[in-house]
Amino acid sequence: MRSLRYGRVAAYLLTLLTLAFGMQAVAQDAEDNLLPVTEAYKLTADASTPGVVKLHWTIAQDYYLYRGRMAFKGGDGVTLGEAQLPNGEKHDDPYLGPVETYHHSVDATIPYTLAPGTTTLALSVRYQGCHETDPKICYPPHTEHLSLPVPAAAATPTNNKLNDLLGSRPQALVGGNNGTPLPAEDAFHFDAIAQDAHHLLLRWTLAKGYYLYRDQTQLAVKDAPKLSLSPAWPAGTMHQDAHFGNTTVYFNEVTLPVAINGDTGGTKTLALVASFQGCQDGGLCYPLMTREAHIDLTGNGGTTVEAAPNPAPEMPPVDAKNGGSPGVSFLYALLLALGGGLVLNLMPCVLPVLSIKAIGLIESGENPARRRLHALMYTAGVLVSFAVLGVVIIALKTAWGAHLQNPIVVAVLALIMLAVALSMSGVAQFGASLGNTGSALASRSGPAGDFFTGVLAVVVASPCTAPFMGSALAYALVAPIASAICVFLALGVGLALPFLAVGFVPALSRWLPRPGRWMETLKEVLAFPMYLTVAWLAWVLANQRGADAVGLLLVAAVLLAMTLWWFERSRHRGVLSRVLVGLLALFTLAPLYYLATLPAVAQTAGASDGVVAYSPEKLAELRKAGTPVFVDMTADWCVTCKANEHAVLNGDDFKALLKRTGAIYMKGDWTNEDPAISAFLQEYHSPGVPLYVVFPKDGGAGRKLPTVLTSSLVEQALNEAAK
């Protein structure tokens, strides 16, 4: 009987193996019919036009390419501009969510500039696609390295070609022996010419000792809403500027290739409007200068350049004397920042972290010294964090809360919150042995725990924008470095002020309840807002990198919980148990490595309910047609944005208001980095999102609204825009 039983088991195993090998053979047979990636997507390149490289993919039948998975990188001496790609077919991908895809073929146009002496156009092209019939599989991302001969005009190491086209112009000298500022026309001479119907060359010749701002330069096409421009800026000089901080400038001369996007078939003369700003090094900064160039695209004529009136300012101009807005003095900016930081304590993104501090103060009981130490160390963590955040924002020209565009930051923050919550729930108690590590965030006592609680409060406060903060942060972005840092420190003082008051004012400390057994229950209850914060961060991550990212975060969370569980069990064990804790902690980081490789989910803000997705071209088209536009720049991680949407923008009253005024609701999603939205934020001197701008139907300047909306405020703005 036993041998019979073993025989049946062996037969079952043999059958299973046969089926497994058979299915593998079938699958292998199906995959053998798939084309190699370079045959499924045949890539060719054309660099015959100076300053522009054209790429073409021929896509095989039953295959498609992802628009959002294309990436381009220049080689040594090659600087690439923004790639121009057509809109793809909208597709709801089961893994990546809403995406755009290409079938049959697709073309891309990329402007470029070359460093002197560069004779080869080297670039890397990365793309990814799928086979849409059985077997339905997706290829891994594929990169092709191209090395193309450069046209003679583009490879010329000097400006002889431009001099032939535009005429050589010697540099002007600084006016007078005492450095008297030159007239703007002599200090910043502007020329432009067409290489062909789709490519321009612009040149600024700067007097000796003068420089031009890259980020304060704007180009536009007049009376041609269907055309747009793609400049390919060369590398400039990083300059510590008194008004804009660490920014890119150009000395002596700068040549700028510009690609024209759109159909120029019926256009003989292009009206280019260039607005730019610059300074005398160590001296006067000039107001915004605007030149209008009428450029012949047929090659039969030349270019005429004339001064044009500066466009109506969308925001108050920067006061070059004190580095701030004329409506916001330094003292007023400090008061606004202090008030904004104080209000941050009431924002939902900060409240979970403050619960940790509240427990620490309650535990201090009647001991004044302990209360003061709690308050001082927490304040130190807040101030140091705000100072670092201010330096990063000013140096990198980034925006408030923009670090949450990085999915790794979101995931790490979610894991920290989870560790804090598990500690508050009693799963783990971090003692002095972890006091000098990041895990001290969850410590309920000790200077290190207080300090890092302050750091954590600043990190989670950044997605929130309290009232009064917008003007203060806008001032900080254009103020001198010392003044800007003071504004960020004032924000920190405002955030820490309640705990400073309780720690140093005995009368306030008497309001604190006496310590008791009830505190353990309160601590465990306050863990649940932390868990909700983790859920919110997971939702943000899903919108950034899709379902796979959430899966990896859950795996990391389980590994973190296992690490904390074993940490508690190994507290009184030997060295081997402690080594295992370290190994588990390292395994917790492994999912984050794979998370970093996931592609961004295509953002579809404005794809439904009559909302139009933001693009500079669409906005220009609507304004040209005389349509009032309500522009909403938002992000999934922006708590203030979501509060405004819930209170005002998603309601039926707002939809009825749009219909009554004939206005278009245009939304830009900045959950992931978007250069077009970043440029819009910079244009309106906004420190981050939310940003709301209402454009009137008469084509006038846009009106920037406060960051916290009310129905009456929006109704008034749209009614005025519709007049």
Distance of CA 286 to the CA centre of its chain: 30
Whether 25 shows a pLDDT value over 50: the answer reads no
> What are the backbone dihedrals phi and psi of residue 307, each rounded to the nearest 5 degrees, phi first?
-70, 145
Q: What integer pLDDT is reported at residue 40 of this predicted model?
A: 92
**What pLDDT does residue 26 have?**
40
**Cα separations in angstroms, 532 against 261, 290, 348, 536, 537:** 46, 51, 11, 6, 9
Average pLDDT on 583-592 reads: 86
Average pLDDT over residues 417-425: 81
Q: Residue 617: its pLDDT value, please?
A: 85
Per residue in 255-289, is it b (16+ CB within 10 Å) or e — as a string? bbbbbbbbebeebeebebbbbbbbbbeeeebbeeb
Residues with Cβ within 8 Å of 163's Cβ and at least 6 positions away in sequence, in order, are none
Residue 247 has a pLDDT of 81
Tokens matching residue 332 = 């007023």
How far is it, in rounded angstroms, from Cα 72 to Cα 411? 27
Top-confidence range, 8-12, 13-17, 69-73, 82-86: 69-73
Do strands 612-613 and 664-669 pair parallel, antiparallel, or not at all (unpaired)?
A: parallel
Per DSSP, the residues of 200-251 read EEEEEEE-TTEEEESTT-EEEETT-TT-EEEE-PPP-EEEEETTTEEEEEEE
Nearest to 489 by CA among 385, 392, 401, 403: 385
Q: How confident is the model over 423-450, as a mean pLDDT? A: 54
pLDDT in tens, 454-464: 787 777 776 66
Coil, strand or helix at 428? coil
Whether pTM exceeds 0.85: no
Residue 162: band (very low, low, confident or very high) from pLDDT cuts 50, 70, 90: very low
Residue 43, strand partner residues: 57
Residues 444, 448, 453, 456: is their CA dihedral positive or negative?
negative
φ, ψ for residue 479 (rounded to 5)? -85, 165
Would you state the structure tokens that stand for residue 436, as one six-digit string? 């000098």
Strands (E), 525-680: 612-613, 629-634, 664-669
Tens digit of pLDDT for each residue in 320-379? 333 334 345 677 778 888 888 887 777 666 666 666 666 666 665 556 777 788 788 888
Tokens standing for residue 340: 């904004």
Enclosing H/E stretch for 114: strand 105-114
CA–CA separation, 502 and 509 (whole Å):
5
Is residue 190's pLDDT more than 60?
Answer: yes
Which backbone phi and psi does 73 adopt, to 5 degrees? -140, 130
Lowest mean pLDDT among 1-15, 94-108, 117-131, 495-509: 1-15
**CB-based contacts of 346, cutoff 8 Å, min separation 6:** 466
Mean residue pLDDT of the chain comes to: 76
Largest CA distance in the chain: 114
Q: Mark out the alpha helices in 662-704 (DSSP H runs).
A: 675-683
Is the backbone peptide bond immediately before 690 cis, with ω within 30 degrees of 0? Answer: yes
d(CA 573, CA 565): 14
Question: Could you give the CA distance from residue 598 to residue 548 in angstroms, rounded to a whole number?
Answer: 8
Output the CA torsion 263→267→269→275 (10° steps): -30
Radius of gyration of the chain (CA): 30
